[in-house]
Amino acid sequence: MATNALLSPAAGRTPNPKATPSPSARRAGPAPDAATAAAAAATSDTKARFEAYNRLQAAAVAFGEKLPIPEIVAIGGQSDGKSSLLEALLGFRFNVREVEMGTRRPLVLQMVHDPAALEPRCRFQEEDSEEYGHPMVLSSAIADLIKQRTESHLRAIQAAVSAKPIVMRAEYAHCPNLTIIDTPGFVLKSKKGEPERTPQEILSMVKTLASPPHRLILFLQQSSVEWCSSLWLDAIREIDPSFRRTMIVISKFDNRLKEFTEKWEVDSYLSASGYLGDNIHPFFVALPKDRGTVSNEEFRRQICQVDIDVLKHLRDGVKGGFNEEKYGPYIGFSRLRKYLESELQKRYKEAAPATLALLEQRCSDVSMDLSRLDSKLQATSDVSQLRRSAMLHAASICTHLRALLDGAADPAPELWGKTTEEEQMHSGLGSWPGISVPVKPPNSTLKLYGGAAFERVMHEFRCATYSMECPQVSREKVANILLAHAGRGGSSGVTEAAAEIARAAARSWLAPLTETACDRLAFVLQSLFDLAMERSRNDDSKSDQNVENMDGYVGFLAALRCSYYKFVKDLSKQCKQIVRHHLDSVTSPYSHICYESDFLGGAGSVANTLHRFNQFNGVASFDLSDSGSALEEGQENLPPKDQQHMTPPAKANESRDILRESQLTVPETPSPDLPGDMHGGKKKDNGNMNDGGARKRHARMAAYANRNHHNNVTVGADDLVSKSGSSYSSICSISAQYFSKMREVLIERNVPSALNSGFLTPCRERLFLALGFELFAVNDDKFMDMFVSPGAVDSIQNERQSLLKRQKILLSCLNEFKNISRTL
């Protein structure tokens, strides 16, 4: 190992080669030979270890391996002298400072001491490969290549800096066995034309590179910077708080020498008292300032001369000198170089056993990956085995889907579940249509999935529906419906108009809610596919069964997902049709929903109300405008007020009581056996035509009205009319009651059962059959399209070749480290 001699007056003296050895030296003749042989063996082992780590590092860079290889990471501010230090370590200049490579992309310098290399040989590792290019000798060509690679890579990724390193291997007789990663220099402000976040990106990247515990940190700082005002020392403390693996180098030390006049000043500065720990000793280095063109030999001579000049100034130029015994080992470039080389070799030796174990593990992993690819290639020719594996995987997914619908808490709902707000956002449906107030069902803030989320959406749908009231209808719409019914003849215009208004409102306002409910439920079911995949992966990792892992078959998994989504989408479409059918049935003019007996609370009162509306000469006589009253007294062909009520109050009350008690429905064709006067409670004799006048006409009109409505109308309409005095408000009130009844029947009876049987039952009973029919009931060529896309086999072959090359490199490194471990 070639290192510079320690610079001291004693070291500067040259021994006389012709001096006669002493007798004692002659008697101890064999000892120097043994020592020389031991030193040569140690040097050989050191070089072998260094070469093994260099090859391992090249493989790690090429294949993206995360190996804990001992490395030195050089960090510091821009213009703090990192590039000059690298040139000094290499032993030759290649104008690395002029290309500013330290500002944008890391450079891995693998220095190899080769006594036979009288001129430096530099080779660059090819991008994304472990191979090295041809040797380069000209320093200008080295600098140009670094610049070209940096700019092309940054242009390709559209960035100002990149953490992907450039790897350069330098073989030279005057460089040590050392590997250093030069990082971009810290800057306070980005350059013109660069993004403003460039300083933050550089700082973040450097911290990432220096954070691994197997890397040594070489921190450079100019001597002109005071310890108390160091900008980047705090960043180093964040990475390595105790400076256990940090080597601090004060560069450009010669600029500070002229400020020292007393011994205590020098010792105080060299100790960094109060700013570093007692056991932390920084190195103080000065390098040649002349950037002119000089030979490599002259460059190395200048480096040695600067070290001599610095020590001479400290000894002779400072009153009292300095504490050389304490600080002398840390002053000068040659001291730093020797320390770096010995420290790295020490780390190499300590890390060799762990590296050997890690290499064995990586080789085993690569072998498993190769086996997996071989299985894939074999599967392309064994369709039956691939069908079996695919069907087992699809069956596993269906089983997990059923488990999630029946109730499961694995995987963790906190990570995989969704709140009501998240479901609305991720589904893209937002709030419920027509509902202005937020709908917050119970458990809306809990993260749920599967059957629990399904039931919560059902409850949310109920809450949304019941929060909707029958919408207001304009007077014009009411008049159009009411007068149209009057034109058809008959005396049921008011009640028919109210029912028609309610039916139209239910169809227009409830239909969007039911469709939204179907879409939300479909989203809940579709979200379960990823959960089922996760459960299946967890089961496969715990199971010892020899079942082929299907994760690598992206085409098949995509087809399986699409088939499941299509199945759920079809269910949603069918449910929408079924629910729409229920809505049409409830809102049909022939439906008895609004006239059921349990809906009547005061049928007699309503019958009287409808009778009073319907007994007028024509419904067209109503004035529904804002200024008009329910009945204009000045119109012609209207009976006097005292004749408008054809039924006496006593009889009306009696009629109400009778209807409440019996709840009878008047048949469409009057029967002789039924009471002829429903309001009086008397029977009418067969063929008796003597009962004439207003009572007989009133009885026939009331019976006709009751026949058309089956004697079942809305509660309290009579009271509404008597209080409001307005036919418009009364019709709206009756319509609202009709709407509420339709909504109640739809939500409480029809929709829940339809959605449960339309979504959950098929998922539990028909899912695997549907998926299997679509995915597996095809010929072999179409089935293999899911697994072997055009060029897929070639892609697998290329991946296999890359793994074989990676395996070869790792096995070679493994064998080298086995040999190294035997010599430790």
**Residues in contact with 786: Cβ distance below 8 Å, sequence separation at least 6, in sequence order:** 553, 555, 556, 559, 775
CA distance 822 to 815: 11
Chain centroid to CA 262: how far?
Answer: 62
Of the ranges 243-247, 287-291, 525-529, 761-765, which one carries the lowest mean pLDDT score? 287-291
Cβ contacts of residue 686 below 8 Å, gap of 6+? 672
What would the two tokens of residue 585 be?
């049935």
- Gap between the Cα atoms of 694 and 698, Å rounded: 6
Higher pLDDT, 440 or 644: 440
Beta bridge partners of 186: 77
* More confidently predicted of 564 and 467: 564
Mean pLDDT of 509-532: 93
pLDDT tens digits, one per residue of 124-148? 888 777 677 888 767 778 888 888 8
Mean pLDDT, range 346-372, rounded to an integer: 82
State what percent of residues in the chain have pLDDT above 70: 70
**Residues whose CB falls within 8 Å of the CB of residue 58, separated by 6 or more in sequence, listed in order:** 110, 125, 130, 132, 167, 169
Is the model more confident about 389 or about 759?
759
Distances, alpha carbon 152 to alpha carbons 101, 124, 201, 387, 554, in Å: 13, 15, 19, 47, 33
CB environment 95-106: b (16+ within 10 A), e (fewer)? bbbebbbbbbbb
Q: What is the dihedral of CA 755, 761, 767, 770, to 10 degrees?
A: -80
pLDDT at 390 > cutoff 50: yes
pLDDT band at 470 (very low <50, low <70, confident <90, very high): confident
Write b or e for each residue in 108-130: b if 16 or more Cβ atoms lie within 10 A of its Cβ, otherwise e: bbbbbbbeebeebbbbbbeeeeb
Q: Averaged over 284-311, what is the pLDDT?
A: 86
Q: Are 703 and 670 in contact (CB under 8 A)?
A: yes
Residue 351 pLDDT class (50, 70, 90 cuts): confident
Average pLDDT over residues 777-784: 85
Selection from 706, 615, 698 nearest residue 668 by Cα: 706
What does the DSSP 8-state code read for residue 358? Answer: H
Give the whole-angstrom CA distance, residue 167 versus residue 110. Answer: 8
CA 328/CA 314 separation, integer angstroms: 10
pLDDT tens digits along 674-711: 334 433 333 333 343 344 444 333 333 333 334 343 33
- What is the C-alpha to C-alpha distance for residues 807 and 813, in angstroms, rounded to an integer? 10
More confident residue, 360 or 631: 360
Confidence grade of residue 366 (pLDDT, cut at 50, 70, 90): confident
Task: Please report which confidence band the pLDDT of residue 418 belongs to, taking 50, 70 and 90 as the band edges.
Answer: very high
| pLDDT for residue 685 | 39
Place of tokens 């439920």: 521
Query: Are the C-beta atoms of residues 626 and 475 closer than 8 Å to each other?
Result: yes
DSSP line for 668-735: SS--TTS-SBTTTTBPPPTT-----HHHHHHHHHHHHHHHHHTT---TTHHHHHHHH--HHHHHHHHH
Window from 166-175, 290-299, 468-477, 606-615 with minimum mean pLDDT? 606-615
Tell me which amino acid residue 623 is.
Answer: D
- Rounded to 5, what percent of the chain is helix, strand, coil? 60, 5, 35
User: Could you tell me where the DSSP H helices lie in 380-474?
Assistant: 383-406, 413-416, 420-427, 450-466
Pairing of strands 283-284, 246-251: parallel
CB 77 within 8 Å of CB 102? no
- As a whole number, mean pLDDT of residues 334-351 equals 84
Q: Are 279 and 309 in contact (CB under 8 A)?
A: no
Which pTM was predicted? Answer: 0.47
Confidence of residue 437 (pLDDT cuts 50, 70, 90): confident
Residue 39 — pLDDT band, cuts 50, 70, 90?
low
Q: Which tokens belong to 462?
A: 């109920």
Q: Strands, DSSP E only, in 118-232?
A: 121-124, 166-172, 178-182, 215-222
Whether the pLDDT of residue 394 is over 50: the answer is yes
Q: Which SS3 state, helix, strand or coil, does residue 251 take? A: strand
Joined tokens for residue 744: 């109640």
Cα angle 322, 328, 333; round to 5: 125
Q: How far apart, in whole angstroms, are the C-alpha atoms of residue 101 and residue 149?
A: 10
pLDDT in tens, 710-753: 333 333 333 333 333 346 777 788 888 888 888 888 888 889 89
The pLDDT, as a whole number, for residue 531 is 93
Give the pLDDT confidence score for residue 65 in this predicted structure. Answer: 63
Q: Which residues of 328-354 are buried (b: 16+ CB within 10 A; e: fewer)?
A: bebbbbbbbbbebbebbbebbbebbee
330: Cβ contacts below 8 Å, ≥ 6 apart: 270, 281, 282, 283, 284
